[in-house]
Structure 1
Amino acid sequence: MNLPDKKYIASFDIDAQCTFTPICPEELPVAEGDTIADELNAQAQYASLRVASRDAHSMSALWLSDADHAPLSPIEGYPDLDIRWPAHAIIGTKGFEFIPGLDGTAYDFQVFKGIEPDKHPYGACYHDLKNTLSTGVIEYLHQQGITTVICGGLATDYCVKNTVLQLRAAGFEVILNKAACRGIAPDTIAAAMEEMAQAGVQFIDNAATLGC
């Protein structure tokens, strides 16, 4: 792949947390979500900066499902909440932690998203669902002169897709490393890949392709 100079490239680990893996089966496990660390580490070797996002929730979140409110049921009255989810990525729990194989000290910039009880964003670039309240990562990447972002993480069909589309809308060239992602369901993964392709995202099978 014909990459720009390394100084213009960032690597983005999107929500690569235990909460989205079989390590935390009662949260939001994605099959094989705990197996992507090697690929995330490999793609970072082609970048001058490494950034990460993490869901960072509390047990006071208004979107939590319970006995009276089933997961995925709609929420009304809050502009930055759409549906309910089981408790996941609660700060201080195993689910909040990075997956095994990732070093939390290796990042130049980290985004914590979903801290507010009345917000549950999916993309890592904005705190709100309308993409108006920046998390600062877009500004940081622009300030550092980054033009190209290599992405991977969890899950392909939700937070990865939304983050990638936000980065494209902000003017970055985006490369999605398919080996560094895992998704929830074949149909939603396929739809996400098509949406990202339509937005001009480039795809690679694995990080080794970057050196070709």
Structure 2
Amino acid sequence: MSFPKSKIASFDVDAQCGFTPLCPDELPVIGGDEIVPDLNFMASLAGFRVASKDAHSPNAKWVVGSHAEMGVATGLVHADLTWVSHCVPGTPGFELLPGLPKVSEYGFIVYKGLEVDLHPYGALFHDDIMTTGAIEVLRSRGIEKVLVGGLALDYCVKSTVLQLIGAGFKVAVYLPACRAISQETADTALQEMKHAGAVLADNEAALALFAVEGN
């Protein structure tokens, strides 16, 4: 018996221009601007579509002035490393990738990293305790499976996937709909997600099979 589409959600994680070559001064992930068709395919298998967006202050405490200064420990409890300014509301980098739905067309949107001392990677928690509401919304809709893609695989996608699994959802990561900052950290992230129980789907057929197969 086919699994009901109404119990499947797709999750576009931080599919924003600031993480692509469209905004080279921010955090351009190679190929990040190429994932839209795959995110849209992912959504075609789901009955509910959600997304997350980084929404950072230009005065965030973890902001540094150049890419060379990134990756240094900040000493902040909920913002581990320094990064250049990115995804500031009102700028091109904040916008979803061209070809994705309008924000108002999603079922739910998570805005994360609004506070100057917070820089969460996962989309389900603002810090270690306070939820963004995504868990509660998914549960209220009766969602059991979540299909995940977005940017970047080795940071925000990985963290979101692990949080979803921790919340009790069955999760598939659609690899064509993801891009990573580096191959090394991507390999580690894939191992972590697979070990936690995520299905790693590398083609349309594999994702479709995960979506339709029963419990």
Asked if structure 1 preserves the Cα contact closer than 8 Å seen for 2:123 and 2:132, the reply is: yes
- Give the Cα separation in 1 of the matches to 2:113 and 2:42: 26
- 1:38 equivalent to 2:29? Answer no
Show structure 2 runs of 5+ residues with no match.
Answer: 210-215
Per residue, is there more strand in 1 or in 2? 2
Q: Which residue of 2 aligns with 1:169?
A: 166
| CA–CA distance in structure 2, aligned partners of residues 112 and 26 of structure 1 | 21
1:107 equivalent to 2:106? Answer yes
Per-residue deviation, 1:3: 6.0
What SS does the corresponding residue of 1:82 show, helix, strand or coil? strand
The RMSD of aligned alpha carbons is 1.5
1:171 maps to amino acid: G
Distance 1:161 1:125, change over 3 A: same
Number of the residue aligned with 2:213: none
Measured after TM superposition, the shift of residue 81 of structure 1 is: 1.7
- Residue 117 of structure 2 aligns with which residue? 118
Match of 1:137 in 2: 134
Q: 2 CA distance for matches of 1:44 and 1:208?
A: 14
2:46 match: secondary structure: coil
One of 138, 145, 148 as aligned partner of 1:148: 145
Matches within 5 A, 1:176-195: 176-195=173-192
Q: Secondary structure at the match of 1:158?
A: helix
Residue 207 of structure 1 aligns with which residue?
Answer: 204
Mapped partners of 1:207, 1:63: distance in 2: 38
TM-score (norm 2): 0.92
Structure-1 separation of matches of 2:208 and 2:117: 43
Residue 95 (structure 1) aligns with: 93
2:63 match? 64
Aligned to 2:20: 21
Q: CA deviation at 1:211?
A: 3.6
Q: Provide the rounded CA distance (Å) in 1 between the counterparts of 2:81 and 2:188.
A: 20
Paired letter, 1:79: V
Paired letter, 1:162: S
Q: What's the counterpart of residue 8 of structure 2?
A: 9
Does the aligned pair in 2 maintain the 1:80–1:120 contact within 8 Å?
yes
Q: How many residues align?
A: 207
Does the residue aligned with 2:57 lie in a helix, a strand or coil?
A: coil
Opposite residue 87 of structure 1, the aligned amino acid is S
Match of 1:81 in 2: 79
The change in CA–CA distance for 1:165 and 1:72 in structure 2 (over 3 A counts) is same
Report if the CA contact (8 A) 2:5-2:47 is conserved. yes
1:157 alignment partner in structure 2: 154
Poorly superposed stretches of 4+, deviation over 6 Å: none
Measured after TM superposition, the shift of residue 48 of structure 1 is: 0.7
